[in-house]
Amino acid sequence: MLNVVLRDLRIFPVSDTGELPESLPAPGEDAIDPELFLFCSSGEQGILQQRKVSEWMSKGSRQQLRPQCAFVSMACASWYAAILEFERSPFHTAELWVLETSSSFVQERLDSAGLGKGGEGLQAKPGIARMVVHKCQPQEGDIVLSACSLFAKPPGLRGTELLVRRYGEWLDVNSTAHQSADWVSFSIATGWSAHLWAGLFCWFPEVMSRLKQRPSMETDVCHLLAMKPVHELHRELRRPLAHPLIITTLAAGGRVGCIVVHSHISPAEAASEPKVYRPVLVPPHPIRNGYMPDYCDPQYRYADNQYFLTELSSNDLDLSVPLHME
């Protein structure tokens, strides 16, 4: 993987009513000549069709020299998908936005996936994050994102076991290369999370024993969606990053996003096979309430490093009327 350097990470509080904070800059307002805007959300394209979000995004589209724009999504692993898309792209600088708002919208999407009301009982917490990512030689004080992968559960009765073993092997390789690594728990309040946790400690006890465990940001049914790994990274960066950090996030449809984060001082790189990126091109289209998200569709399961990609034009960013159908 190329060095992906993260700078200027900011998290913006969002009210439950969907009001965007006054401190929220327009896309591109605080970045120096980004070549690419990357937007991502667990809510898929429906997030672009929320009136306040589309009005905010249109401010960025009015720039005289506007960079390329794309929307990326893969359930709660959407941030990892955005990092993968940046890796895949020919661009060297991107402004990346994680959008999870409003509360009612992201909760409806969670309910439609069977993870909220009437399902697992998770309660969505809205939020917005912004960061700038670069492909460059790290400088002092920089944070490097490396070894990013998005695993998918294989088909069949042993799918969960095989997924745990593949993730455990990835964890073994990267925790060996990155000595004394901290590992942020992926734990959330679902039965699947408990099963993966049990399997990991059953089949990889030595690996887990050499990792310093850091707590998950989710301790109850309050669910941070695609913001979870960003909140956890933001928390860990409040202190100097003395050791490499491994962050993992579970996502609907049997997916596990994982990444290694370290300081500008480059540790030994783990050996890895050439990565295959599997973007699924999706044209802009309206989303209706109650419709099951695309990430639940069986045709989009079982493939590693797969995510939904929508290339956006200025017309897509200048939505004067939200397309989200009631």
Where along the chain do its domains lie? Answer: 4-139+276-317, 145-263
What is the model's pLDDT at position 87?
A: 96
Sequence-distant (6+) residues with CB within 8 A of 283 are: 310
pLDDT at 318 exceeding the cut of 60: no
What is the model's pLDDT at position 323?
A: 40
pLDDT at 325 exceeding the cut of 90: no
Give yes or no for a contact between 295 and 74, defined as CB atoms under 8 angstroms apart.
yes
pLDDT at 193 exceeding the cut of 90: yes
Higher-confidence residue of 17 and 277: namely 277
Residue 240, both tokens: 């100097």
What is the model's pLDDT at position 288?
A: 82
Q: Indicate the burial class of 326 (C-beta count within 10 angstroms; 0-12, 13-18, 19 or more).
A: exposed
Peptide linkage before 23 cis (omega within 30 of 0): no
pLDDT at 15 exceeding the cut of 90: no
| d(C-alpha 187, C-alpha 216), whole Å | 6
Pairing verdict, β 182-184 and 93-100: unpaired
| d(C-alpha 112, C-alpha 109), whole Å | 5
By percentage, how much of the chain surpasses pLDDT 70? 91
pLDDT tens, 165-177? 999 999 999 998 8
Q: Has this prediction a pTM greater than 0.75?
A: yes
Look at residues 87, 68, 103 and name the one whose alpha carbon lies nearest to residue 279. 87
Sequence-distant (6+) residues with CB within 8 A of 148 are: 1, 4, 80, 83, 84, 87, 257, 258, 259, 260
Separation in Å, CA 235 to CA 131, 157, 231, 313:
15, 37, 6, 35
What is the model's pLDDT at position 64?
A: 44
| d(C-alpha 52, C-alpha 57), whole Å | 9
pLDDT at 274 exceeding the cut of 90: no
What is the model's pLDDT at position 285?
A: 83
Q: Name the CATH code of domain 145-263 (choices 1.10.357.10, 3.40.47.10, 3.40.50.2300, 3.10.20.90).
A: 3.40.47.10
Q: What's the chain's length in residues? A: 326
pLDDT tens, 112-160? 999 999 899 999 999 999 999 999 999 988 999 989 999 999 999 899 9
Average pLDDT, stretch 82-97?
97
What is the model's pLDDT at position 254?
A: 94
**Region class of 290: left (phi > 0), else alpha (psi between -120 and 50), else beta:** left
What is the model's pLDDT at position 8?
A: 95
What is the model's pLDDT at position 208?
A: 94
By percentage, how much of the chain surpasses pLDDT 90? 71
> In which band, very low, low, confident or very high, does the pLDDT at 321 lie, cut at 50, 70 and 90?
very low
Least confident among 61-65, 179-183, 262-266, 309-313: 61-65
pLDDT at 2 exceeding the cut of 60: yes
| d(C-alpha 7, C-alpha 145), whole Å | 11
pLDDT at 181 exceeding the cut of 50: yes
Residue 295, both tokens: 């990430």
What is the model's pLDDT at position 32?
A: 81
Higher-confidence residue of 325 and 225: namely 225
